[in-house]
Every structure is written in C-alpha cells, then in structure tokens.
Structure 1
Amino acid sequence: MFQTAFTLTLTQFARTLSLPERLQRSPMRNLALEALRQRNTTLDALFYDVKVITPEEAFYISDSLAAEGTIMIVPPSGSGAIILCETLEEFARRGGREVQALAVAGIGGSALGAAAFARNVADAIAAPVAVVVSGYGLADVITETLGGYFFFGHLKGLRPVLEILDDFAGRPKFGATDARSDETAPRTSLDTRTVRALLADPRFSFCLLVGHSKGNLVLSAALHDLGRQDEARAAKLAEDTKIVTIGTRIAMPPIFSDVVDVIGEWDWFGEMNSRPFISTDRRVPHAGHHTNTDFHSHLPVTSVLKEILAVAPIAGKALAASALHVVAKTDASIAETTVPSPSVRARRRPATIEKVKKSFSDKSLPHIPSKEPGPSAELPPPKPH
C-alpha cells in the first residue's frame, strides 16, 4: 500500500513540475484538462499494480501521462528501464522490431497505468512488452459526461468522432499521426489508430495481444479496421497470435480463433460492459475489476497469464523465457477456475511438443537496448505534452 501511494505521489509531483513547460503549448487546453488527468492517474493507481514501476520510471513518464498514442517499451522487472517512443519510427529504432507482445490498458488511460499493466504482462512472459497510452483529452471529457466511460462497450462510436475537437484545440501529435489521411481516420481514435498501425506494419511481429477493460475495445476496433483494410495481413496475424482479454469480453474478428476471455468472479463493472453472447473462458475466483495486488479481491494479471500460457503456449518465435517461468502449480489454479462449455469460436490448433520447444529456444530471446536507471546513469529527458 505504501509503495502504491509513494509511486502515485512522485508521479503527480513530477507532473506538476513540468506544467509550466506544457502550458507553452495549448495553455487553455492543458489548464482545463490537468485536474482531470491527475484524477485519472489516481484511478489508474488504484486499478493497476503501479508499485512495479520504479521511482525513476515514474518520474520519467510523468510528463507523458496523457499523451494519447505514445508507445512505451516495458521490460520485465529488473531488466531495464521503460522506453518512451513518440512515433512508430522511433519505436522501430529503439528495439520495437524485437518486441512480440502488445498490451492495451483501460480505466484512466494514463501512462502510469499503462506501464504498470504492461509490466505485469512482461513479468508473466519474461520478455519486453509494447503498450499504447490511451491518454485523456476533450473527447474523453464529453464522452464521460454522457456516460460513455461507464458504458464504453455500447457507446464506442462516440469518442472517435468527438476527437476532432481535440485536433482543433491543439492536441499534440503522437503515435500514428500519419494515419489521418486514410478513410477511417474520422471514425477512429488516435490510440486505436496507433494500435492498428503497429499491427499492420510488417516490421513488427506480435504473437500476444493483451487488453484490460477499455483496452479490449481498442484492440477489437484496431483488429476490425485492419481486417477491412488489409485482409492478407490480418489473416497472417491471426495464424499465430493469441489474444487475452481481461476484465471485459469484447468481440474480436472471427479469424482470430485463439482468444481467451478472462474476468473476475466479482467483476460487476466488467460484466456490464461485456458482450453477453461471448462466454467466459477463465473466471478468476474472488476477483474484481482491479489488478492492484495491494488491494483485496484483485485480479493477478501476472499469475493468471502464466497459467494461461502454461496450458496453451504461444507459437511465436519470441517470448522464449515464458516457458521457463510458468507457474509450477498450474493444475491447482485451474481446478479453482470455472470453465464454461466450449465457445462458438473455432478451436485453436493444438501445438506439438517439438513446436513448443522450437518456439521457446534461448536464441529467440529479444534484446532491447535500454539504460538501467541508477546513480551513474540518467533516463533521457521526458518529452513535453
């Protein structure tokens, strides 16, 4: 509990220090939204396991808390520092080609919550994870006022249209800003466009997609857009990609057959925003919507994901260490889980022992250049938002 409070306080303090610099760009917009962004950061601190973020990393990402479309590379705990990337090109240059897991968080949409969720995933697979920041802008304020945050699954088309207001108000351009020229730009939010651009880019090869809460909606929208724009790329991605949705059950394109829907037994918020026609594949006992292990009835992302991957490994060539770090007592955990009747989705193809061994060879471990924070090394200066 203390570490969560400390990380949140440090992040908000560092954010306050950078306010004068951010006010030099779109001062009225930043002044109007800053209090709401601080509130959303607090929400993320309650719902996500922010204590896994080091003080140096919290200070580093504080200036980009609401930078919608920003991409972060988050290594496992103790394996290096978080890397912030403003564009796809920067993501590719700074090690993105070797990252094969993509996470999308929900709730407040802050960089702190996104980094904490990605680190939980990274600890589960023992490999770096890319994550896209959802941010918080004028469109989110209007959507929230109309109830869109509470019923985000049913009012999903409202926020993208209202994001045009953010552009007029001088929203900084991060992520897939060049995607504005395509025909779906007016109907797609910036975080969704960035996720879609990452999945569509042949330089990147993701074999694990993990979303939580509203992040599952972003994943679904990005995959549906990709299927409409590039069927061949979507089909290739669907062959070896596992999708794990946590906290809400959202419909993915039918060609993605390897989907595992996870929800807590006491998660009423997730149930209200889930599609009733989609069955739950993994119901976690005594768990709610939050993933912060400091609080009771949390959904333990790292251990649950380890169990899922132990039962059904990923066919991707990366994520090698995940097979060596799975939970030893998987059978006991599965016994406590309620598994419903088979879903209407097509069943995934079984993996052979030879294929699993080849997939998780030590030669395939990804390498991401990063600076280890310490007394003799400093993180790169934060980018203004």
Structure 2
Amino acid sequence: MLKLLFRYQTMNGMFRRTFACVFAAAPRFPNFSRYYGESRVKSQSAQRESIMNVVERIRQSHDSLTTTEQEAADFILGHLTDALISNSAELSQLSGVSQPTLSRLFRKLGYKNAREFRRDVRRYHQPGAPEVASPDSTSGNFAHDLLERDTTSLSRTYNRISDGQIATLAARILDARTVAILGLRNNYPMALHLREQLIQSRSNVMMLPQPGQSLSEEIVDLGGRDLAILFGVRRRTPIFATIAAELHRQGVPIIMVGDSTLRRTAQSCDATFLEADVSVHILTSFTAAFSLVALLADAVATRAQLAGHGEVGRVAGLGEIEETEKLRGFEGIEGLGDGLPAESIEQAGETGDAAAAEGRIERINRGFAQLDELERGALRR
C-alpha cells in the first residue's frame, strides 16, 4: 500500500512539473496563447449553441445567410415535420434548394451534419404540432400574404401528382362497389365535402363513422371490390393507423389524402398517397387538401359523363325536398293549389258566389303571409 501511495505521489509530481514547463515555455511560442484562447471561445460558443434550439439558431443567423440559404431556412421553419422525417434528398426536393446548400446551412447553424440537425429538430418539434412562421414572413397585407403562401402550397402539391394517376384513381372510385370515406376530427369537413360531391356521380358512397355506430360495424363488410378513402391531414388520433391496418388486412384498396407525416402509414398499407402541402403562418391552411378533394370529384364526374353513366347531377332533379315539404305543410299553399285562377274567383263573385270567392281570396292572402314569414326565417338562418 505504501509503495502504491509513493508511486502515485511521484507520478502526480511529474505531471505537475510537465504542465508547469509547458506553460512556462508558452510565451516563446506566439501562437500558443492565441490558439488556447480561441479554443476556449469555441468551446463556450458550442455550449451556447447546444442550449439554443433549431428555431432560435435559424432566427439568430437568418440575416447572415445567403438568399438561397434563407429560402431553405424559411422552408424549414414552416415545415419542421418535413425536416424531421425527410432525408437530405427529400428535403432538397421539397424545399427546392440543392443538397450542397442545405449542407452549408446546417454547418452555419452549428450542426456537424444532417443527422445532428434532425436530432435537434426532434428535441424541439413533434409531428402534428403547430409549425413556426419564418422571420419577417408577413408584409402587412394579409390577403396578399395568404394568397402567396397558398399558391406556393398548391404548386408543391400539384407537382407531386400526374394526370395519369388522377385518371386511374377516378376509374377506381367510379368502378368500386362501395366507397367508404373516413375523416376524423379536423379531417371530417374534407371527407364530408368529397362524399357530397361523389354522390352526384355515383351511388353507394358512405361516410365513416356513422352516428350511433362503431367503426368495426361499418368496415366489417368491406372487401376487395370496395374502396376506402382516408383523410389524415395534420394531427390524427391513434385509431387512424389501426383502421388503415384493418382495412388493408381485409384487402380493401385504400386512397390516403394527407400531409407528409402520413407517408409511412400509407406505405405500410400499400395505399395510394396524395400528399397535400399545408401552408402555415399562425394557423394551418387546408387549401391544398380541399383542392385535392375538388380534383378527385371533378375527375370522377368527367369520367362518369364520358362513360355515359347518366348519373351525373342525378340529385339535382329532386330539388330541395326539405323546402318542398315545409311549403306543403302550410294551409295557405294548399289553398293556392285548388286549381282556380284569379279570373275564376272574379267570375264566382259576379255570379253571386261571393262567399266562396271571399274564402279563396282570404286563403290566398294567408298563403302569401306565410310565404313572407318563411322567407324571413330563411334570411335569419
């Protein structure tokens, strides 16, 4: 034990003497102190960068970036989910900026490589959470700024699809035995709108979920002759992936409409994926997603018309049944429908049937009063 203690003290002394000699000789080497000082500054800078998240780094360095690097940085701030799940090649394609420019941007932001950049994005952002607006992204003209963001979003969305793909999807929608459309939470309006458009061109289009029914009861009878269209833009409930997997297990062909976070789910279910680029400022704009709904509906209607299905606009011939039923419920309208024109009423008065004419005139006036009341009620709604 004493030997070990003596050896430790001897080695400790040797190390201290060695370091003392090095620092004593430092003035003879003019670059030593500068290098040592720069190393400490770099170390402190690295510690500060590790504390800042990706958004803070971009905002702090934004003015010092080149024009193309600023474009890439602005895209990342508005599409953190894309930056998180995409590799360098995919991010380059989405942002329209070359991979070397992205690499330079990552280094300027203090990251060694793209993997370290994505790791920092993952610490800050979760898929489906609100995106971040880019610095100075507004000009004060709200209409112009929104139009510019949505135009960019639409352009990116339509650059990913082809006429042949849409024609194929239209044929599948038109030829399917049953079309089941699913939209949960904020996806429900898009799903409902597509359903209302498709029933103009074909029958057996159902919305999921139905009130009072479980999803299991609704999808249990679907098979290979049917088609499911699932909407999964932005935040989705965990049940969405479960439903998609079950439909795939049952052999149901699937079309998915969603943002970039839905890619992996679509691939796992062999679904045809239509990716909508959602634009973000403070809130998310679903313009591109609704545009895909209009595109699908229009393609189906066009194909149905060319094929001579004879069903396009079939609902229009029925008119507004609800309004007709309301009108039939009024006593005055029944009086108007007795088949006697005004001339007959006057003739009845001339022939002495004044009481009958008076009764008809009273019913007519009452009917007009109820019509006015109906119109005022419609305006209030």
Could you say whether these structures have the same fold, taking a TM-score greater than 0.5 normalized by the shorter chain as the test? no
Larger Rg: 2
Superposition TM-score, scaled by structure 2 size: 0.29
By percentage of residues, which structure has more helix? 2
Question: Which of structures 1 and 2 has the larger relative contact order (alpha carbons within 8 angstroms, sep 6+)?
Answer: 1
Normalising by the residue count of structure 1, what TM-score does the alignment of the two structures yield?
A: 0.28
